[in-house]
A and B are shown apart, each in its own frame.
Chain A
Amino acid sequence: MMPQLERDLRFSTAPLHERCVYAQLFAHRNELAAVLALGRDPSVVVARILGIDRAEAEGELAKLRASGLLGDGLTLLVGARSSRARASSAPATGEAPSADVEVVREALRVYGGSRRALARDVGCSESALRQFAAGHSSLSGERFGTLAAQLGVRSAQCAVEVRSAQCEVEPRTTHPTAHPATAQPTAQPVSLSDSLSSLSVSSVSSEILSKESEANGESLREGTAQQLRSDDCAATQPTAQPETNATPKRRTQRRTPRAPAVDPVPPVGTVARRVYEAITTDVALGPRVTGPGDLSMRLAAICDGTTVDPAREVIQLGAWLLRKPEGHWKDAAAGLLRNISSKVNDARALPVAAPGVARAEAPGAAKIDYQGRRVVGPAGLPPGSAWDKTKEEHEAEEDALYRRAYEATQPKTGGSNGR
């Protein structure tokens, strides 16, 4: 559990159930503020986070408020100060938001929640826009006019489709709502697919950007929503008639995402497989190495024809890395390649005798234990010492000792038996 939560007595003394629920809300604290700024109901937000229905979410919220972990709305009382999702932006029950606030919120929806883009187009700061959306202050007349104009342009440019299964695009036929001072009543309320399928608002703006690029990047100021609908979801519109006589649009080839390269696993019984198992089972190297299969085959190829054992080197380097502080050797694959290549170069630099020259039998290579230390065998027992016996001889001696001891404790048969 997060340490900043554990330090708080209110959290640590709360029941386990409430702690788990609060931890999940706390994990999404950065998105909570953004979502609440759009005017969502806290119980709906909690229901989407926890994956439960709204009634159950309201019950969970009540429990959290009773435990003192949650304030009004979704104000997280426990945790870092900067993480508080202030619910003051949520309107009070029964109070309808003003028209200005609705306009700003609608603009945010159209812009895909990108306050930065909207603030840039309107000409105010992001924090001011946040205040407008929360209903704390109102836009000036000039800025409101700018906002309305941008809203109209944007609504004509793209249809906001937030991952609807039926690919329904509701045409934006609204006139931009105007400031009361200019007295232009709203023609139709804007309707959008109201979905919280993605709590991260940046994903919505990416949807919008993809739609724009799909439309060849050309300006759609003159385009209508009808044309947009035929481009995007013609198959789902039974009444739409394809324009066969019109010149086909030049569509840019959508760049398909490159499929991630599959890491090959070396076959069993090969040197590369031993290296692969050494890398993947190592506590320090396993998480740091991406593509262990490819790396193991490269290491085996490098060490081929030399006396260097790549699996043993990997084990030693893993043990060495485990003793290092965290953050050491961020690119473990490069480190392994570098170290083992240098060992191979050293091994190849050793002089090799000519093939015809008689060589004395080379002494056995020194054994290295699992910690990289050279192991020299024990000294031999001095000849004729009392210890110069095999294990079986010692066991036979011990058995004889205990047999004699047993016989000494048993009553002797024969002799005087009461006679």
Chain B
Amino acid sequence: MADDSLPPSLEGALLPKVLERHFAKVREWQKSPEGRKALARWERDKLARQRAEREEFCALRGVPDDVEVRRWALEPHPHGPLFDAIREAIQWQRAQQESRGGLVPVVRLLIGPPGTGKTSAIGWAVTTWPKRARYITADELCRAKEDSWNDAGDVSLLALDELGIEAHPDRVIELLLRRWSKGRLTLCATNLTLGEFTVRYTSTAGSRLLDRLRDQHARGLRPSVVVTWGSLRGGLGL
């Protein structure tokens, strides 16, 4: 909004003289010291409200209770290669949907050794997603009941962590294909290397998944993002 003093419903509308004068006074007050103090107070309250909302989403959407994961999940504007990779996927999906018209599925795979911030990054995405989102590990997914499994297939954003530890990769493949057919965004994190992931998920039963990932790669978005640094655990200072 260019003029914050005008409510969105009145922006660009022809206002009566009385209301124009009123909003002119509002703008003038906003520039005064008292107005700036009120604005700072409002900014603080807004930050507090946003933080409370994100904390609620963390709990509702299943983000782990780990202190570091929650800290990054509640961060409003985190920086880092993994966060940038997730933002790139979201922007690419939006651009494709605008140009092609319709839902475009996206799978972004975060591959790296343990402790490199993959869970924190997908937890942040789940917390800040404006629509329905959910965090779940592959093992929980395979042991989940049908309702929970269907829900994981329907949510707008699914963060699938710890790929590779589940007992039945077929269920994971089936879920990924189901979400692909519905045009959803899926973020996966795994400690497997690219070769191990390929062998486990794209062999005979997963050849359809490999073909879809190849299609996404051909359209301009790499499905996998590889971490090139070591573990961060024990690194962030007090």
Q: Do A and B come from one complex?
A: yes
Which residues of A line the B interface, CB within 8 A?
A: 16-17, 20-21, 23-24, 50-52, 60, 283-284, 286-288, 322, 326, 366, 373-382, 385-387, 389-391, 394-395, 397-399, 401-402, 405-406, 409
Closest chain B residue to A394, Cβ basis = B226
The closest CB in chain A to the CB of B112 belongs to A387
Contacts of B44 in A (CB 8 A): 283-284, 322, 326
Q: Within the assembled complex, what's the spacing in Å between the Cα atoms of A21 and B17? A: 11
Known: A322-B47, A389-B228. A375 touches B237 (CB 8 A): yes
Q: List the B residue with the shortest CB-CB distance to A283.
A: B43
The answer for the CA separation of A373 and B235 in the assembled complex, in Å, is: 11
29 A-B pairs with C-beta separation under 8 A: A16-B19, A17-B19, A20-B22, A23-B22, A51-B21, A283-B40, A326-B44, A373-B237, A373-B238, A374-B238, A375-B236, A379-B232, A379-B234, A380-B230, A381-B113, A381-B230, A385-B113, A387-B112, A387-B193, A387-B227, A391-B228, A394-B226, A397-B194, A398-B222, A398-B223, A398-B224, A402-B217, A405-B210, A405-B211
Contact A378 B116 (CB under 8 A): yes
Contact of A373 with B236 in the complex, beta carbons under 8 Å: yes
Known interface pairs A20-B19, A20-B22; A287-B236 also in contact (CB < 8 Å): no
Determine the distance from Cα of A357 to Cα of B106 in the docked complex, in whole angstroms. 61
Whole-angstrom distance from the CB of B113 to the nearest CB of chain A?
5
If A386-B193, A395-B222 touch, does A287 touch B232 (CB 8 Å cutoff)? no
* Residues B238 and A394 in contact, CB atoms below 8 Å apart: no
In the assembled complex, which residues on chain B have CB atoms less than 8 Å from the CB atom of A322? Answer: 44, 47
Is B231 among interface residues, defined by CB-CB distance under 8 A? Answer: yes
B36 contacts chain A at the CB level, 8 A cutoff: yes
Residue in chain A with minimal CB distance to B47? A322
**11 other contacts beyond A379-B235, A382-B230, A402-B213, with CB at 8 A cut-off?**
A60-B18, A286-B36, A322-B44, A378-B230, A379-B234, A386-B193, A394-B194, A394-B224, A394-B228, A397-B195, A406-B214
Q: Is the CB of A287 within 8 A of B39?
A: yes
Tell me how many residues of B have a C-beta within 8 Å of chain A. Answer: 45
| A359, B180: Cα distance in complex, Å | 61
Please state if A284 and B194 are interface contacts (CB–CB under 8 Å).
Answer: no
B37 at the interface (CB under 8 A from A): yes
Docked complex: B129-143 residues within 8 A CB-CB of A: none
CA distance A326 to B217 in the complex (A): 51
User: Which residue of the partner chain, among B18, B217, B229, contacts A398 with CB atoms under 8 Å?
Assistant: B217
Of residues 161 through 217 on chain B, the ones whose CB sits less than 8 Å from some CB of chain A are: 193-195, 198, 202, 210-211, 213-214, 217
A374 to B198 Cα, complex, angstroms: 38
How far does the Cβ of A176 sit from chain B's closest Cβ, in whole Å? 42
Q: Residue of B at shortest CB range from A409?
A: B211
Contacts of B214 in A (CB 8 A): 402, 405-406
* Complex interface: chain A residues within 8 A of B43 (CB): 283
B8 within 8 A of A: no
Interface positions of B (Cβ within 8 A of A): 16-19, 21-22, 25, 33, 36-37, 39-41, 43-44, 47, 112-113, 116, 193-195, 198, 202, 210-211, 213-214, 217-218, 222-224, 226-232, 234-238
A232 to chain B: closest CB distance in Å?
33
Query: Which residues from chain B contact A52 at a C-beta distance below 8 Å?
Result: 17-18
Inter-chain CA distance A173–B150, complex, in Å, is: 95
Chain B residue at minimal CB-CB distance from A51: B21
**Cβ distance A390 to chain B, nearest Cβ, rounded Å:** 7
Q: A residues within 8 A CB of B211?
A: 405, 409
Q: Counting chain B CB atoms within 10 Å of each CB, which of A23, A287, A395 scores highest? A: A287
Distance, CA A326 to CA B48, complexed state (A): 13
Bound complex: CA of A17 vs CA of B213, how far in Å?
Answer: 57
Greatest chain A CB density within 10 A among B16, B195, B214, B234 is at B214
Contact of A378 among B41, B193, B194, B229 (CB under 8 A): B229
Of chain B, the residue at the smallest CB distance from A397 is: B194
**B226 in contact with A374 (CB, 8 Å):** no
Q: Is the CB of A374 within 8 A of B229?
A: no
Query: Quick one: given A395-B222, A406-B214, are A401 and B19 in contact (CB under 8 Å)?
Result: no
Q: How far is the CB of B73 from chain A (nearest CB, A)?
A: 15
Residue of A nearest to B7 (CB): A16
**Nearest B-chain residue to A285, judged by Cβ:** B40
Q: Are B18 and A20 in contact (CB-based, < 8 A)?
A: yes
- Residues of B contacting A397 in the complex (Cβ-Cβ under 8 angstroms): 194-195
In the bound complex, residues from chain A placing their C-beta under 8 Å from that of B47 are 322
Partner of A287, one of B16, B17, B40, B234: B40
Q: Beyond A21-B18, A287-B40, is A379–B230 a contact (Cβ under 8 Å)?
A: yes
Cβ of B235 and Cβ of A366 under 8 Å apart?
no
Please pick, from B17, B198, B218, B234, the residue contacting A401 in the complex, using a CB distance under 8 A: B198
A401–B202 Cα gap in the complex (Å)? 11
Chain A residues whose CB sits within 8 angstroms of the CB of B198 once the complex forms: 401
Give the nearest-CB partner of A408 in chain B. B207
In chain B, what residue has the closest Cβ to A366?
A: B237
* Chain B CB within 10 A, most for which of A389, A390, A391, A402: A402
Complex contacts, A287 vs chain B, CB 8 Å: 33, 36-37, 39-40
Q: List chain B residues, Cβ under 8 A from A382.
A: 230
- Complex Cα distance A376/B231, Å? 11
Tell me the smallest distance from the CB of B21 to a CB of chain A, in Å.
6
- Least CB separation from A20: chain B residue: B22
Q: In the docked arrangement, what's the CA distance between A288 and B116, Å? A: 40
Top 7 A-B residue pairs of the complex, sorted by shortest distance between their CB atoms: A374-B237, A379-B230, A394-B226, A287-B36, A378-B229, A376-B235, A402-B214
Instruction: Find the B residue at minimum CB distance from A379.
Output: B230
With A398-B222, A405-B214 known as contacts, the answer to whether A378 contacts B22 (CB < 8 A) is no
